[in-house]
Homo-oligomer: A and B are copies of this chain.
Amino acid sequence: MKYIVIVKPKKAILDPQGKAIKKVAENYLQSEIKDIRVGKYFEIEIEKEDDGLINKLAKNILSNDVIEDYEVRKA
């Protein structure tokens, strides 16, 4: 069973990486970009379906729940 976990900075949190990439992108494209937010993307394959296991992994290992939100989906 394949799961996808997406980890993103919480909305209220400043995203310096996103700001830096936004500047580079605007220079490169010569076009205005309203916002870029950068997160992490995980593809996790386990033997059989276990939503609880993947949520536990996402919450405690893959993300820092003080500054990040996470989302779990089945691929």
Q: Which A residues fall within an 8 A CB radius of B?
A: 6-8, 21, 24-25, 28-29, 31-47, 50, 53, 56-57, 60-62
Contact = CB atoms under 8 A, between A and B. Distances in A.
Q: A-side binding surface: helix, strand, loop or mixed?
A: mixed
Contacts of A8: 41, 43
Nearest to A50: B31
Contacts of A34: 45-47
Given A28-B57, A29-B56, 19 more contacts: A8-B41, A8-B43, A21-B61, A25-B57, A29-B53, A31-B46, A32-B46, A33-B44, A33-B45, A33-B46, A34-B45, A34-B46, A34-B47, A35-B44, A35-B45, A38-B40, A38-B42, A40-B40, A40-B41
